[in-house]
Structure 1
């Protein structure tokens, strides 16, 4: 019945437009009468259709609207940084990195209170795994650890203080540069050559930071030296100077 009424209403609209062109084609003596009758008929049929079949149409509209809302919610909730590599992630400002981890927690329905745990987990993996790994995969590792045992992430280390001490200009380790210059004959002659580090991930994670540098001696000659520092990863502070030559 609904389809019949819709069809009749469509025919009335068609007849209205045809009547404007040639009224006799729709059985009317003139355009005024044709327009009045067929326009009124199309309105009446539309009203009757909506009156007789409101529930079905309303339900369809509600379902469609609900699906659109659900789709929008899914898109807003989805984690959009899965393909970012660890090296790219690590190069971002700290606030942005925290926002990325937070968006992962939202996408996985994990409590926001775990943000620091997941942030530290990703931080540690960024320091100890291949730079080319994608953070979506790495965060999934953190999630599996958390699901298995939420306390397992407590031991994960935040490397921010350690990495923030490396100069973005030449890669030198700032606290170690300070120590080196304090023991030089002429600190203005200091020239950084290379800095590298080796991580020791035991009960008290630390790193051996090695710097090669050059400077002038008491005789004015430029000499090259190497110095090694034991560094606390959590604080970024130097624990001890292990040797120099």
Structure 2
């Protein structure tokens, strides 16, 4: 009886799970058009992704049908892989948000409450070529200047900026590698010094002190 009830509950949970909009290169533009998005890039085998899935489904269901905000996901192991590659996804899950054509990294906590608060504060119309009325004068001028560029010039500028991001990432990794090497060397130096102190007779000194203390007590 208990076994049957457990199966029933499990089936009900699976049926009630919200079907989060799944993005691929084929539907990306049509699904995200006019939206400000919050996207989870994931891999089905990723443990952290599995743990996060129920909260992401709940959040997506809350935003279902919203005029502006969209909660979606991209499976980086199937048809969505080109989107993951294009957005520089290197780990799972990776969360990005904002203008579908210019996503930004989400760096906050991944608890449901924090995700929900972030979505509420950020999934609103943003300055973009499609929403010039939301841009300040500086951004409008920047968009106008970019619109005047040829496709080749735009691609060149995008590549140059992406190379800066790659350089920053490489610099960070190099610094971390150096820190790890320094830590290893410091740890080895510490172990050598500790061994030298012990080998110099510290143990014997303590043993002699303890012995003399014991002898002194016995003489009393």
TM-score w.r.t. the length of structure 2 is 0.29
Q: Which has the higher contact order (CA 8 A, sep 6+)?
A: 2
Structure whose residues are more often strand by fraction: 1
Larger Rg: 1
